[in-house]
Structure 1
Amino acid sequence: MSDTLSVRTIISPRRYVQGAGAIHSLGKYLTSLGSTPLLVADDVVWGFVGHDIETSLGDAGLPVHREKFNGVPSAAEIDRLVQIIATQGADVIVAIGGGSTIDAVKAAGHLAGINWVTVPTVASTDAPTSALAVVYTENGEFEEYRFFPKNPDLVLVDTQVVANAPAAFLAAGVGDALATWLEARATAAAHASTMAGGLPTLTGTALARLSWDVLWDNALPALDAVRDNVVTPAVEKVVEANTLLSGIGFESGGLAAAHAIHNGLTAVPQTHGLAHGQKVNIGSVTQLVLEGAPTSEIREFIEFTTRVGLPNTLTEVGLAPENDQELATIAAAALAPGETIHNMPFEISPTELVAALKSIERFARTVRKEAALPEPQPYHHH
């Protein structure tokens, strides 16, 4: 994916707002972006935050039009939202919810040529800040990345809303964000291009590194705080690392093997119920193995991600080392032309990728046993 042009670039949202109770100022921030907002949220999310949002928009003199999101950011769902924007004459579209809602809204806002805003209610991915959407088929397989000429006009994160959500969402976000530095480091070493369309800047790479440091220091206390639905400084730091630092870091620092392996995992039905960050973590461990990273580094990563509650074995994502057919399918999808695995500083063959995927099972089990950590539990498809 490397460009002959050696420009360096960084992209970011126009404004980022984060804090406990931030949702109450949504209306105030929206007034500078439009007068006819279209709010998109599924029924569950709207049940949590709908009242606060209605109040905030009312106070700002804005009308409340809410459209239900249907669950998958597919091409059809995106086109449906574009129609609704046209019908209602909306001039700003607001995504309220998780990564799927956010990706569908970004794509629809771009196609309709209006402003778009993200209000993540969980800190489970870095989708809220980026200028791209991941589009899936109706049944949940990775279809394509869609790139936009700009990032969201506003990202607004209410950390109390995030802390009210199950801790598993925050843990998944840590899995997504931990990959940021591993992938940015590899992209920089390869002098490869990033999603921002150029070589990484020092800034993009530094933010990816900062995200990593913040998470190693704060993820475990933040998860404990969220289990009690409280916002502490550790929670604020982890939400920022998962959302802003990881968002700018992956986009302007570069993606590599971990996210390509995530996309490969979506090609087999066993993994469809898993969160994005859970699948990414399998990609991170596998990328470390492919790099021949120091054993101590891989061991520490497995211990830490086990404590966070992330999968680092095939068992935990519904697979096994014996699943040759599935592993070959995953490897083929991960190594597809244009995939981010080609940003690695070396070539990777399907055989090498399958071998690395197989190897994490026994290695992670051994590490977890030595550290007196729980054994992997098989993932049951819901």
Structure 2
Amino acid sequence: MDRVIYSPMKYVQGEGAWQRLHEYAAALGQKGAYAVAGPHVLEHYWSDVEKGFKEANFPLHAHRFAGECSMNEINRIVNELREENCDVIIGIGGGKTLDTAKAVGFYANLPVIIAPSIASTDAPCSALSVIYTDEGAFESYLFLRNNPNVVLVDTAVIARSPVRMLVAGMGDALATYYEARACFNSGGRTTAGGRSSLSALAVARACRDSLFKNGLRAKLAAEAKTVSSALDDIVETNTYMSGIGFESGGLAAAHAIHNGLTVLPGVHHAMHGEKVSFGLLAQLVLENAPQDEFKQVLDFCREVGLPTNLAALGLTDVSDGDLMKAARAACAESETIHNMPFKVTPEAVFSAMRVADRLGS
């Protein structure tokens, strides 16, 4: 199996970066830009974005995101942008907004600029969109031809976003190294469609090290709504390093356990990265990782405020039967848990979640 590394063509991060969106759009297209934007962005940031396009005399059309990355929404936007004669797509907002923009670029065969308003996941850099029904139920994964042309992150915007989202992004990023390590050791297939590489593993390891160094100080800066050096580092960690690390390094048990837990209604209020952080604790138990390694991860979760037990995810007094349902779902044939360097059974996952819950409590 080949070693495969995916990444966006350009990654740009800094305070006020959104004010230069018009420059990157004009470098990719000639006719105009079509922006898929979230309501919060349109209300609070649109005038600053629009100003640059007006001054550059580059056409900009805005579409208010309807809330779900569904095929109906994607097709509607593809038809609208053709009517407007635009040749660059911009996704500006949260995760589903960005996934929609990436899917529109895929179907319209146009370049894409991604401008995340939060740093809660590593999705902005990936060549993947998660498709839902109009009602919000998961439908399918759309694997894209390539990663975004440009990912443009405005740290001033991230600093003003809810702190919980930044911390959840740390939870998602925290699993990156440990899952990439498992894939590297097993030779498992990554999201990029190949075998993990030394480069991807090195990025994943740097992702972990940055979290341990900067996580708490970044959270404190976010609580003060200010951009510090630590916050700047964590935004890059959550968005780029974790993005490269997961896509080219591979996923394993932590994300599979996250997926398994989603069959239980009690966890639906928890964010993606919050569930992943508990999934990582369970993965480390599953691996029988050294106690000092487990403690380092557990201490970090407690330090920044990530869930460390089932009750914190909303699963107070969860029954053995329900937890076994989650364990079986985590071990579905298509799940990434089979990238672990040993055979994993639902019974082993059930046990790992119970032990992780006790250790985390």
State TM-score, norm by structure 2.
Answer: 0.95
Q: Which moved more, 1:30-39 or 1:185-194?
A: 30-39
Correspondent of 1:320 among 316, 319, 338: 316
- Taking structure 1 as reference, are residues 333 and 62 closer, same or farther at Cα in structure 2, changes over 3 Å only? farther
- Cα separation, 2, equivalents of 1:138 and 1:261: 26
Correspondent of 1:359 among 345, 355, 358: 355
Structure 2 residue identity aligned to 1:277: G
Equivalent residues in 2 for 1:170-185 (5 A)?
170-185=166-181
Q: CA contact under 8 A between 2:39 and 2:64: conserved in structure 1?
A: yes
Cross-structure match for 2:342 = 346
Correspondent of 2:20 among 16, 19, 25: 25
1:321: Cα distance to partner?
A: 5.1
Cross-structure match for 2:88 = 92
Q: CA contact under 8 A between 1:19 and 1:157: conserved in structure 2?
A: yes
- Cα separation, 1, equivalents of 2:80 and 2:306: 38
Indicate the SS of the match to 1:38.
strand
Structure 1 residue identity aligned to 2:206: L
- Cα separation, 1, equivalents of 2:70 and 2:329: 19
- Taking structure 1 as reference, are residues 317 and 137 closer, same or farther at Cα in structure 2, changes over 3 Å only? farther
Cross-structure match for 1:9 = 4
Q: CA contact under 8 A between 1:142 and 1:266: conserved in structure 2?
A: no
- Taking structure 1 as reference, are residues 254 and 147 closer, same or farther at Cα in structure 2, changes over 3 Å only? same
1:141: Cα distance to partner?
A: 4.8
Cross-structure match for 1:40 = 36
Indicate the SS of the match to 1:95.
strand
Cross-structure match for 1:380 = none
Residue 133 (structure 2) pairs with residue 134 (structure 1): no
- Cα separation, 1, equivalents of 2:285 and 2:135: 31
Q: Which moved more, 1:331-340 or 1:200-209?
A: 331-340
1:174: Cα distance to partner?
A: 0.5
Correspondent of 1:224 among 213, 220, 225: 220
1:136: Cα distance to partner?
A: 3.5
Indicate the SS of the match to 1:230.
coil
Structure 2 residue identity aligned to 1:7: D
Q: CA contact under 8 A between 1:140 and 1:272: conserved in structure 2?
A: no
Cross-structure match for 2:49 = 53
Q: Which moved more, 1:234-243 or 1:321-330?
A: 321-330
- Cα separation, 2, equivalents of 1:297 and 1:51: 47
Correspondent of 2:111 among 95, 101, 115: 115
Structure 2 residue identity aligned to 1:30: A
Correspondent of 2:158 among 149, 162, 169: 162
- Taking structure 1 as reference, are residues 53 and 12 closer, same or farther at Cα in structure 2, changes over 3 Å only? same
Structure 2 residue identity aligned to 1:188: F
Correspondent of 1:215 among 211, 218, 222: 211
1:19: Cα distance to partner?
A: 0.4
Q: Which moved more, 1:180-189 or 1:82-91?
A: 82-91
- Cα separation, 2, equivalents of 1:326 and 1:49: 44
Q: CA contact under 8 A between 1:321 and 1:361: conserved in structure 2?
A: no
Q: Deviations over 1:188-222 (max 9, x none)?
A: 01011211111122111111111110111001111
Unpaired stretches in structure 1, ≥5 consecutive residues: 1-5, 366-382
Residue 278 (structure 2) pairs with residue 282 (structure 1): yes
Unpaired stretches in structure 2, ≥5 consecutive residues: none
Q: Deviations over 1:194-251 (max 9, x none)?
A: 1111112211111111111011100111111111111111111111111111111111
Structure 1 residue identity aligned to 2:320: D
Q: CA contact under 8 A between 1:179 and 1:284: conserved in structure 2?
A: yes
State TM-score, norm by structure 1.
Answer: 0.90
1:106: Cα distance to partner?
A: 1.0
Structure 2 residue identity aligned to 1:316: A
Cross-structure match for 1:236 = 232
Q: Deviations over 1:257-284 (max 9, x none)?
A: 1111222222232222222111111211
Indicate the SS of the match to 2:315.
coil
Residue 167 (structure 2) pairs with residue 150 (structure 1): no
Q: CA contact under 8 A between 1:40 and 1:96: conserved in structure 2?
A: yes
Structure 1 residue identity aligned to 2:22: G
Structure 2 residue identity aligned to 1:164: R
Indicate the SS of the match to 2:91.
strand
Q: Which moved more, 1:315-324 or 1:163-172?
A: 315-324
Q: CA contact under 8 A between 2:8 and 2:151: conserved in structure 1?
A: yes
Structure 2 residue identity aligned to 1:340: T
Correspondent of 2:74 among 75, 78, 93: 78
1:63: Cα distance to partner?
A: 1.9
1:169: Cα distance to partner?
A: 1.2
Q: Which moved more, 1:235-244 or 1:38-47?
A: 38-47
1:138: Cα distance to partner?
A: 4.6
- Taking structure 1 as reference, are residues 135 and 248 closer, same or farther at Cα in structure 2, changes over 3 Å only? same
Structure 2 residue identity aligned to 1:283: G
Count of residue pairs brought into register by the alignment = 360
Q: Give structure 1 regions of 4+ aligned residues with deviation exceeding 6 angstroms.
A: none
1:103: Cα distance to partner?
A: 1.3
RMSD: 1.6
- Cα separation, 2, equivalents of 1:186 and 1:143: 28
